[in-house]
Structure 1
Amino acid sequence: MAARFDVGADGWCHDVLRYDSPHADARPDGAAVTLLVVHNISLPAGQFGTPHVSDLFTGRVDYNADPAFADLRGLKVSSHFLVRRDGRVIQYVAGDARAWHAGKSAFQGRTACNDFSIGIELEGTDTVPFETAQYEALAALTLALQERYPLTDVQGHEHIAPGRKTDPGPLFSWQRYIEIWGRLLKEKAAGEGRLVPAYRQLRFPVGVPESQPKN
């Protein structure tokens, strides 16, 4: 059974681990949160379950822990959420704030996607399939964020920064994500039908069917 999440009025998700990141700031005035961006990350590359992703997002990297970390010096990045391989979720930045996850990016003619997006990192790589628990957590978190913010679109980092980024990669199944999201939406509709139409529509990357769960 998928986890259930609740995003509070302050933009922090209840019942997840919280590590506050200094790599965040205020969104521009009037910037509505309409885009969800899916990423993947592992530190060192291809190694899972380490503390280094959280250290990177919170500015506490031990640069001597791995030779590859020398390239991380001076890097200030963050994401709103990280979904571990076992489905556990960590939050670093409140949804109301701007995390520094997208970098140079554009979507539908708008640049600087950090201004209007929420970033979710999946612990993984472009070359390793993601776990069922991650899809379940991602889908449940998507629903919770839709209840709090006027999300209209989901994109991969590769879609908003083509040629520069490749994540979440070819082994991320958008269709599986959509199917689990649809199942959770149906379950929610059974008990809270009056709320469902407000966030039923969600557009996914070109080439992936729009989410239209059947009744």
Structure 2
Amino acid sequence: MNPAFDGWLPHARRYDSPYCDARPDPADITLLVIHNIALPAGRWGGPHVSDLFTGRIDYNADPSFADLRGLKVSSHFFIRRDGSLLQYVSANARAWHAGVSSFRGREKCNDYSIGIELEGSDFAPFEVPQYEALGRLTLALCRHYPLTDVQGHEHIAPGRKTDPGPLFDWEYYQNYCNDLLKEKAAADPSLVSAIAGLRFVKGLLQSQ
């Protein structure tokens, strides 16, 4: 972990969330968790996701929002359908995105993970600009954190969560990361070693 990095990416649009706190071990950031979200469900655009993550949502804006009352949730990042990147919590801090969860025998995934929300649902394919933004974000985070694994919310909270869902193309995402790495390898050889052992949900090494 780079001690000089404050956890905020300069190319992301920043909206500070109150729903975060300090990590138990700031050096223990090894997991990326991929989610999907849309408010209202199945509808893209609008301010509601950002409003939810920053505690400003108008519960009267849609009947379905009544179920969100009292919910204190956030994510580090949100990638819209057009690939634009928003950030709500410093990656150095603990965002409240995973809930009850476990990975490789470790519970409380919020403690050691970075959460990335994609604008979407389990029932619609994601857009190419989203995969591209996610790939760039993955490599950027690997420069600063000792990441070892990328999982879906459904994999760390099975039976409770289903996102990013069956239409998220893990192979496309992994291949795009590989392509980016090939482009940047000569200019940034340290990135190659940083990402070489990254395991995607299928258990494959990023370099395979």
**Same fold (TM > 0.5):** yes
Whether 1:62 aligns to 2:58 is: yes
Three-state SS of the structure 1 residue aligned to 2:186 is helix
In structure 2, the gaps of 5 or more residues are: none
Alignment coverage as a number of residue pairs = 205
Structure 1 letter corresponding to 2:97: H
- Match of residue 79 from structure 1: 75
Partners of 1:31 and 1:115 within 8 A in 2: no
Percent identity of equivalent pairs: 67
Partners of 2:17 and 2:74 within 8 A in 1: yes
Shift of 1:108: 0.4
- Match of residue 180 from structure 1: 176
Moved more, 8-17 or 52-61: 8-17
- After superposition, residues 84-123 of structure 1 pair within 5 angstroms as 84-123=80-119
In structure 1, the gaps of 5 or more residues are: 1-7
TM-score, structure 1 as length reference? 0.92
Distance in 2 between residues matched to 1:36 and 1:90, nearest whole Å: 16
Shift of 1:201: 1.5
Distance 1:183 1:172, change over 3 A: same
Distance in 1 between residues matched to 2:26 and 2:95, nearest whole Å: 16
- Match of residue 137 from structure 1: 133
Alignment RMSD (CA, Å): 1.2
Distance 1:46 1:195, change over 3 A: closer
Shift of 1:209: 3.6
Partners of 1:157 and 1:165 within 8 A in 2: yes
- Match of residue 153 from structure 2: 157
Moved more, 117-126 or 30-39: 30-39
- Match of residue 33 from structure 1: 29
Distance 1:201 1:29, change over 3 A: closer
Distance in 1 between residues matched to 2:6 and 2:162, nearest whole Å: 32
Whether 1:51 aligns to 2:75 is: no
Cα-to-partner distance string for 1:140-184 (whole Å, 9 max, x where unaligned): 000000000000000000000000000000000000000000000
Structure 2 letter corresponding to 1:70: A
In the TM superposition, structure 1's runs of 4+ consecutive aligned residues that sit over 4 Å from their partners are: none
